[in-house]
Amino acid sequence: MYYIQESDKPSKVGKLFNIVKLENDNIILPITNINMDEKTAYKLACKTKTILDKTNSKKIVLSKMIKKQETYVNYLYTYNYEIVDGKWLFQMLIFNVLEYIIQKLKIKEDTICIGILVNDISDLAVYVIEKLVTKYKYINIVTNHINLFKNIENKISEEYGIWIHVGNNKRKVLSKTNIILNLDFPTELINRYSIYNEANIINFRGNVKIRDKRFNGININDYEIDWKEANAFKKFYTKDIYEAIQYKNQPIEEILKKIKKDNIKIKKLIANNITI
């Protein structure tokens, strides 16, 4: 794994010849601003690829500034590198995020109605549903695969004696839901539904835009965490640094235990019109 960042003080020669430096596991680009042109982006991407191919590395972490270099980043994606973006960790922090937003917005527990938008029956989705139904009274599962999720509905009813609603009525199912946990719905799909105007939406996988002009709620697409070990990586987002070092192929319970042990806290949630 390599960390790609900008130079603190690139030399004139470095900038002129687009000299990319390798220092330990840091790839340093000769730039100091966010205005990388197409030609420079291509040259730096090619040189980055040369370094990574020699090391046989596919996993990279980008600094805050480098992430703004869209053309350069797009070239890296075409080379099929795994660019850490914090989205996997965001999903693992779903319970932390839910508690954070309830506390910050002072949502009364007896008014909480949670909608879980999910089409992929993953281990995480099942785990989240089973945990939430034991704590919150009103849970709706919104999915295009109703028959598949009916099995989960029946299991929860048998094991916990709790009834949950699995449905896909685009006009009604989210009309009274004040917290929406969007696990995998893209923009085009979520915008087919009538959403409660004051809903709080958390998108855990991709950036989603709500197009309904009447929507006056909070649409969260990003976040940041606090982690005391990240002080040495000030050029980077803490969420990316922490995700990059995690071993993902283990039971969800073990991942959550490590997150708790490392005392990971939500620092902020970032919406299109507000930071919480």
CB of 116 within 8 A of CB of 183? yes
Judge contact between 104 and 276, C-beta under 8 A: yes
What tens digit of pLDDT does each residue of 96-115 get? 999 999 999 999 989 999 99
C-alpha pair distances (Å), 166 with each of 140, 145, 213? 6, 9, 27
- 11 pLDDT above the threshold of 90: no
Query: Can you tell me the mean pLDDT for 64-91?
Result: 96
pLDDT recorded at residue 272: 81
pLDDT beyond 80 at 232: no
Per-residue pLDDT, averaged over 72-81, amounts to 96
CATH number of 89-223: 3.40.50.720
Confidence category of residue 137, pLDDT binned at 50, 70, 90: confident
Give span(s): CATH 3.40.50.720, the chain: 89-223
- Which residues, 6+ apart, have CB-to-CB distance to 251 below 8 Å? none
Please list, in sequence order, all residues whose beta carbon lies within 8 angstroms of the beta carbon of residue 75, skipping any fewer than 6 positions away.
Answer: 41, 42, 45, 46
Indicate whether 30 pLDDT > 90.
Answer: yes
CA dihedral 175→177→180→184, nearest 10 degrees, is -50
pLDDT at 16 over 80: no
pLDDT of residue 263: 96
pLDDT at residue 119 greater than cutoff 90: yes
CA angle 261, 246, 244 (to 5 degrees): 125
Beta-carbon-side half-sphere exposure of residue 270 (alpha carbons within 13 Å): 8
Q: What percent of the chain has pLDDT over 90?
A: 76
Tally of CB atoms within 10 A around 206: 13
* One-letter identity of residue 2: Y
For residue 234, what pLDDT is reported?
87
For residues 29-54, give the mean pLDDT.
90
pLDDT at 31 over 90: no
C-alpha–C-alpha distance, residues 220 and 223, integer Å: 8
Dist CA 65 CA 118 (whole Å): 33
| 3-class state of residue 115 by DSSP | strand
CA distance 208 to 217: 14
As to burial, measured by CB atoms within 10 angstroms (0-12 exposed, 13-18 middle, 19+ buried), residue 9 is exposed
Q: Per residue in 188-221, pLDDT tens?
A: 999 999 999 999 999 999 899 999 999 999 999 9
Taken as a whole, the chain contains a residue count of: 276
Beta bridge partners of 179: 114, 200
Q: Which of 86-90, 164-168, 178-182 has the lowest mean pLDDT?
A: 164-168
* pLDDT given for residue 151 in this prediction: 83
Per-residue confidence (pLDDT) for residue 100, from 0 to 100: 97
Q: Work out the number of other CB atoms within 10 angstroms of the CB of residue 84.
A: 24
Average pLDDT of the residues of the chain: 92
Q: Is residue 162 within 8 Å of residue 137, measured between CB atoms? A: no
Distance CA 81, CA 211 (A): 32
Enter the pTM of the model.
0.93
Q: Which ranges of the chain does DSSP label H, i.e. alpha helix? A: 12-16, 38-55, 64-67, 70-78, 87-92, 94-104, 123-133, 146-160, 187-190, 238-244, 252-261
pLDDT, average across residues 137-155: 87
| 234-273 pLDDT tens trace | 899 999 999 999 999 999 999 999 999 999 999 999 998 7
More confident position, 15 or 173: 173
Site of tokens 């089973």 = 130
Residue 212 pLDDT? 93
